[in-house]
A and B are shown apart, each in its own frame.
Chain A
């Protein structure tokens, strides 16, 4: 796989660290959200077979956090953006 980093350009996926599905959203306050919210965020996953959005960290590059739209069935990456701009 190759990931088209918005900052560095097209790079081998080996340069990146995978941080998983970008869909789970951390509860704004852990205290206020109750056990269910934390349990859901930490443990439960949709684990889709097909298109998903996920975090990649460009550890051996610009060290930006990225969000990639990738297909878990084909490994095809259709879009990559900086994570700080939000999950598209």
Chain B
């Protein structure tokens, strides 16, 4: 596959852009592979890419029910950050951030990583203390964080409603290295990198069951395009993890919930980075195209519908108007919903399953996009070496049984509150 470069772009421009080749191969399924990844989203494709690149395992297929990047990889709000406070999370998300920082050079693909800063607003002494603690935990782990006072926030975002009656802004926690990336480009970039190294990307291929060997271990998958043999199968199907696991007779500590997101008409640049108003269920950034991309909480009830209900639309817009009244005249262009794997502690799972040969990458709640590179890296490590990657060693499936939860929000086994 040709490397993308300024010279290639110029050559293609001079030839009228008629010589561009497809970015990656849309492959038909073969009878068997060493390894099958189920789910052609960012996580599945990143896993295949790192399997081929880092571990030299290239006899791999990624099977996708629809088209690649058509699920949650295409429905998120594109935020990247590593501002986590708990052991088990901080190092993992920082590893992801480091991979983001080198991703474009690594993939030779413009994923539009833009480190424009992520600012979490706080509105009370208690919330500021919690932010100070989280910021300190980050700094102890080598992740830069700044605790801003009211004036510090005002310098960054003077348009906020600082004296809003119920939630006056007291300050904020800023991670300058956080920001946004182009979600579709991430999918295509990983697909291209994996495809280049021999990975088959098979679309319109829904897994309908697992093939089991006589000893009960996994021997492949049954799909709508026939049986595909494999020594190992990795699930990267967040949103539908329970459905896939049920085909192998497993129950997971996961509920599927719907999260809505919104985009306004395109405006001139007004929002400098990512701003979150957690107390009011609202967060926002501005895309390079100019649209305000924002969202809030999950709807709160189990759903596989990929669409939400109006009360949350109202709640999110109220949150936006409360903290950022200037956006009130902007017109909402679109809203959509994605199905999230909500775990019982709000943290993901990258682990073996009790079924030999079946591996699980699941439970990304509403925060999977930022984790895409490290999730792929660590899942590939697990699949290749049969042992967890050190930065993902806490994301075990049995942590719920053993009481080793990673509950950033501290709300317990109540998935709709995480």
Where the two chains meet, the residues of A that have a C-beta atom closer than 8 Å to any C-beta of B are 1, 12-14, 18, 20-21, 35, 39, 42-47, 49, 52, 54, 70, 72-75
Contacts and interface: CB of A to CB of B under 8 A. Distances in A.
B344 A18 contact: no
B115 interface: no
Contacts of A72: 256, 302-305
Contacts of B89: none
B400 A39 contact: yes
B251 A46 contact: yes
B254 A45 contact: yes
11 contacts: A12-B311, A18-B301, A20-B302, A45-B242, A45-B253, A46-B246, A47-B243, A49-B242, A54-B301, A72-B256, A72-B305
A45 B251 contact: yes
A66 B16 CA distance: 65
Interface of B: 240, 242-243, 246, 251-256, 300-305, 309, 311, 344, 400-401, 413-416
A49 B255 CA distance: 10
B251 A44 contact: yes
B344 to A, nearest CB: 5
Given A12-B311, A20-B416, A52-B302, 20 more contacts: A13-B301, A20-B414, A20-B415, A21-B302, A39-B400, A42-B413, A43-B253, A44-B252, A44-B253, A45-B242, A45-B254, A45-B255, A46-B246, A46-B251, A47-B243, A47-B252, A47-B302, A49-B243, A72-B302, A72-B304
A42 B400 CA distance: 9
B304 A21 contact: no
Contact of A47 (B256, B311, B414): B256
Nearest to B415: A20
A83 to B, nearest CB: 16
Contacts of B252: 44-45, 47
Contacts of A42: 344, 413
Contacts of A52: 302
B66 to A, nearest CB: 16
Contacts of A75: 303, 305, 309
Nearest to B345: A43
